[in-house]
Amino acid sequence: MGCYPSARGIPDDLETPVVLVDHRILQANIDHMQDLAGRAGVNLRPHVKTHKSIVMARKQMAAGASGLTASKADEALVFIEAGLPSITLAYPQWAASKIDRLLGAARHHDCDLRFIVDNMEGLRLLEARATALDCRPGVFIKIDVGLRRCGCRPDDPRIFSLADRIVPARHLDFRGLLSHAGHAYGVEDGKAAGRIAEEERQQMTALADHLRRTGFTVPEVSVGSTPTVLAARRFEGLTEIRPGNYVFMDQTPLRLGLIPPSRIALSVLTTVVSVNDRYAIVDAGAKTLSSDRGAHGTDGIAGYGQALVLKASAGKEALLTVAKLSEEHGFVVCDDRFLAPGDRLQIFPNHACPVVNLARQLHVWNGSTVEVWAVDAAGCVR
């Protein structure tokens, strides 16, 4: 399976804790997913909730992405105002003030903005605000393919009622169907993730075909999560994928056997501040690493990350487990003869997305120099 990428050689004067990104792996991950999309014949619309970085979004667009996906209104606003050309807000909107903010910014910056709906009340609100501002945003109907979060089940008759309302609306543009098979994060291995990917594809394409047979035009069928995209074997009938975590990767796709550890681009550089007979205590706790053990509340990973020891005497692949977290301290299981205060560890967290959201900067290392990139949408949770 290979080894975790080591940050040995990074400048000693870099103060910790910092969120570290290996630029070479980051770019390879961006290029790999873009190539996968090209070979599959689908558009790639990455989810920016993973990195929340304008620099990184522009890298994804430069590689060939068709647009971006965002979660929250203020998060999307950051990328609209930065001039990114097309954004899907894959989160139901229930505040007129948020919709107005987004529509106004999208018109000002000439951004192709798309929303999702799964009920008539939300659709009426969106249509009313688009009419009041004389805008015509795109609208997807959100489909629940198994996560049981937002969306209509594929056999829900409301789908046809929603389409009936959207299609003739002067201020709405029906873009098609959108799903997220997030339950794939909780399965036991890549084969199971692949089964979920195929179930999602079949449900979505069957529903799109049903709508078309009844007279609707369905321009787009959009799916995506990093595990399902990596595990999928077929993409026929789909038009778009929306993975997010792939830029960094973390312990979840590794646990599923979908990647080797050498493809994990994000880690947290820490310093041992104290050692006792059970733990080495590092300067990264829950406020840096987060207490998340996996996306969507999954709990299939032991501990809170794997710690690579960076001192030369530790050997090439000396890995320790982060067993506990308090707010500002990490508890790394080790023998007190193994580590000393001042030693540095590189922790590969369970879930990259909340780690980035907790940070304000990313330290991007290319093997010789370190650049600092802003986490532009950090804390944008409204």
Closest to 362 measured CA to CA, from 350, 377, 380: 377
CB 149 within 8 A of CB 97: no
Distance from C-alpha of 379 to C-alpha of 382, rounded to nearest angstrom: 9
Specify the range with the lowest mean pLDDT, choosing from 43-57, 157-171, 303-317: 303-317
Q: Which fold has domain 23-248?
A: TIM Barrel (3.20.20)
Q: What b/e readout covers 95-106, taking b as 16+ CB neighbours within 10 angstroms?
A: eeebbebbbebb
Contacts of 369 (CB under 8 A, 6+ apart): none
Section 336-340 average pLDDT = 81
Mean pLDDT of the 238-257 span: 97
Q: Residues near 111 by Cβ (< 8 Å), separated by ≥ 6?
A: 80, 84, 85, 86, 87, 105
Distance CA 306, CA 143 (A): 36
Can you give the pLDDT at residue 52?
98
Q: Give the Cα separation of 112 and 175 in Å (integer).
A: 12
pTM, two decimals, is 0.96
pLDDT of residue 316: 59
Residues of each domain in the chain carrying CATH 2.40.37.20:
259-374
Measure CA 27 to chain center. 16
pLDDT exceeds cutoff 80 at 313: no
**Mean per-residue pLDDT for 206-223?**
98
User: Which pair of structure tokens corresponds to residue 248?
Assistant: 């960094």
User: In degrees rounded to 5, what are phi and psi of residue 152?
Assistant: -90, 140
Smallest CA-to-CA distance from 351 within 282, 295, 280, 297 is with: 295
pLDDT above 70: residue 317: no
Average predicted confidence (pLDDT) for the chain: 95
- 138 pLDDT higher than 70: yes
Cα gap 370→344, rounded to integer Å: 17
Peptide bond into 17 cis (omega under 30): yes
**One CATH from 2.130.10.10, 3.40.50.300, 1.20.5.440, 2.40.37.20 for 259-374:** 2.40.37.20
| Percent of the chain predicted with pLDDT > 70 | 96
For residues 217-221, give the mean pLDDT.
98
CATH 3.20.20.10 in the chain: give the residue spans. 23-248
pLDDT at 295 exceeding the cut of 80 = no
User: Given this model, what pLDDT does residue 338 score?
Assistant: 81
Calculate the alpha carbon distances from 170 to 128, 137, 140 in Å: 11, 10, 16
Tokens of residue 108, six digits: 């000002």
Hey, what long-range contacts does 309-313 have (CB within 8 A, 24 or more apart)?
309/338, 309/339, 309/343, 309/345, 310/6, 310/7, 310/8, 310/343, 310/344, 310/345, 310/346, 311/343, 311/344, 312/8
